[in-house]
Amino acid sequence: MTLLDEQVDANAALAWRNFKAGTADNVLLDYSYAGYKHGEEAPADVWGLGYKVYNVVDYGADPTGVRSSRGALTALLKELKLSGRSDAGANLANANARAVIYFPEGRFVLHNDDDNVVDPTSANQKYTDSKGNNRSEEIFIRGGYFVLKGAGRGKTTLVMDTPNLPNNSEQMWSSPMMINIKHNSGLSDLTTVTGDAARGTFSVEVASAAGIGKGDWVCLSLSNNDPTLVAQELAPHRVEGNMTDIQTITVEDYHQVASVSGNRVTFAEPIMYAVEAKWGWKIRKYPHYEHVGVEDLTFEGRSKENFGHHASWEDDGAYKPLNMMRLTDSWIRRVDFRGVSEALSIVSSANCSAYDIEISGNRGHSGVRSQSSSRIFIGKVCDRSRGQAVSPPYTSTGYFENAGQYHASGVSNTSLGAVLWNNTWGDDAFFESHSRQPRATLVDRCTGGFVQWRFGGDETNVPNHLGDLTIWNLNATRAAHDFGAEPFKWWLSSDKWWKTMPPIIVGFHGAAVTFDESAEQVKYLESNGAAVEPLSLYEAQLRQRLGYVPAWLNSLK
């Protein structure tokens, strides 16, 4: 192993050698803590956990798909106190369910028009389904230590037979999720930060550590609209046009407490954004659930044949099967999504993993995203959805068998420390970076289209991505940018939707792209046109920290 490491490092990229040596020229953050249990191990095999197994068929679910199984699932969730609300309106939650909710082989319809309701107070009065209903409801699950498990993808399918109706037909994003696993409480203040902490360090000094203990999860938080801080965040750029969101700098970084000594709180993970106490940093209480899994099944929707970006609510959000919110050390693996608008959002969560996932069927809006979360690992996501190119068409027919979701898997909002590893997306796509202050994203040994304009966000919410976007060994299958103009620019003052802070780019290869190398456009560029060693930055950083590559990651290569 020592000889192998020396041989790799002898031919390694300068960026890697500077990181490993800790030189003053290092530009890389340590992404090795991303994922379930900090990337050190995989979730255990479910059958060895000792959880009680509940078969949904025993509660009346129909594996033939002829009738809806929603009532059977909600009855089971209510028995397990995971159903969100009881019939009497009281909140139901079970943080320690110790349950496997098992879907055997079959097709289980969890949403059709029979599951919608009539709501005369709804803002959606312009659209009704075949039954005259105008509102859809999500399956709301509150709890931890449980697993939604199938008999295998391709064997167990959870079906959205009809679209989830929008809460407001004028708001294209307002359809609810089919299944929403969610802690329903938000952040609250615990204490203020009194001392500075550099990036890469692990601890902060606070006014009082009372109420904070080893093993707790907390949020290291900043919200400040001081113009000096805004200017510091955007340098070498500045606020332009209608950029209003960035005028309040917001950081929400979730951490597990490793130890407390006096008023010093030490985290299990490195701090990825420099803490300057003068800006008003806080430690906040972070309500959440732990150890939630979804595995070995397929989610199926009926997304439109000809997707149009923001064309209607049916394009953007009618088929959203799954949302996971305020969770830690949770996972989704060996899962397929077919014909969906949005596959999965992992929201306000920390150290969750989503891997070994396939997306197919008619293309939709987005893939798997880390939204306002910390250190989410999104790996080996293969996006093969098909559909029309979105204007302008870059092929003679305007159709791609391998188009990919409009936004491939990626990040949005205050995501921090996410890793996109070994993902493959379509030729008419690009990884997602959806504005509202994502930072420090590693796009690592991924393959797919390099199609400009596939980041996202309203003009009020840009930049699309802030500092430390790191693109490592990206293999571009097709380049389509600025209608063919060179060199490629990450920040266009002439365009109100395309503004990304200068990224770090190492080992970009495949379709040729010439990058504007000015300091306003690129922070660091190495080996454009040829891949570098190590092939994966995440893997190399894990190996350096642990002394080995964990078996779960090796199994995904």
| Contact indicator for 317, 365 with CB cutoff of 8 Å | yes
What's residue 1's pLDDT?
30
Q: Identify the band that residue 131 occupies on the pLDDT scale cut at 50, 70 and 90.
A: confident
Q: Is residue 50 in some structural domain?
A: no
Segment 22-41 shows an average pLDDT of 98
Are residues 274 and 196 part of one domain? yes
**d(C-alpha 272, C-alpha 92), whole Å:** 36
CA dist 122 to 118, 163, 169, 172, 385, Å? 9, 17, 10, 15, 33
Are residues 257 and 195 part of one domain? yes
Q: Is residue 434 in some structural domain?
A: yes
Are residues 163 and 89 part of one domain? yes
How many other C-beta atoms can be found within 10 angstroms of the C-beta atom of residue 208?
12
Are residues 272 and 209 part of one domain? yes
Q: Is residue 420 in some structural domain?
A: no
Q: Is residue 372 in some structural domain?
A: no
Range of the domain at 14: 1-30+430-557
Of 285, 302, 318, the one marking the end of a domain is 285
Beta-bridge mates of residue 284: 189, 219
How many other C-beta atoms can be found within 10 angstroms of the C-beta atom of residue 391?
10
Which CATH number do you get for residue 271? 2.40.30
Q: Domains in the chain: how many in total?
A: 3
Lowest mean pLDDT among 74-88, 138-152, 285-299, 442-456: 74-88
Q: Identify the band that residue 392 occupies on the pLDDT scale cut at 50, 70 and 90.
A: low
Q: Is residue 413 in some structural domain?
A: no
Q: What is the CA radius of gyration of the chain?
A: 23
Are residues 223 and 119 part of one domain? no
Which CATH number do you get for residue 142? 2.160.20
Question: DSSP string spanning 346-368?
Answer: EES-BS-EEEEEEEESB--SEEE
Are residues 87 and 62 part of one domain? yes
Percent helix, strand, coil in the chain, to 5, is 15, 35, 50
Are residues 114 and 65 part of one domain? yes
Tell me: pLDDT of 5 over 50. Answer: no
pLDDT tens digit string along 189-203? 999 999 999 999 999
Q: Is residue 545 in some structural domain?
A: yes
Q: Is residue 19 in some structural domain?
A: yes
Lowest mean pLDDT among 73-77, 90-94, 461-465, 487-491: 90-94
Read off the pTM. 0.96
pLDDT tens digit string along 523-557? 999 999 999 999 999 999 999 999 999 999 999 98
Are residues 351 and 255 part of one domain? no
Are residues 181 and 87 part of one domain? yes
What's the mean per-residue pLDDT of the chain?
94
Segment 416-443 shows an average pLDDT of 97
Are residues 315 and 229 part of one domain? no
E strand or H helix at 313, and its extent?
Answer: helix 313-316
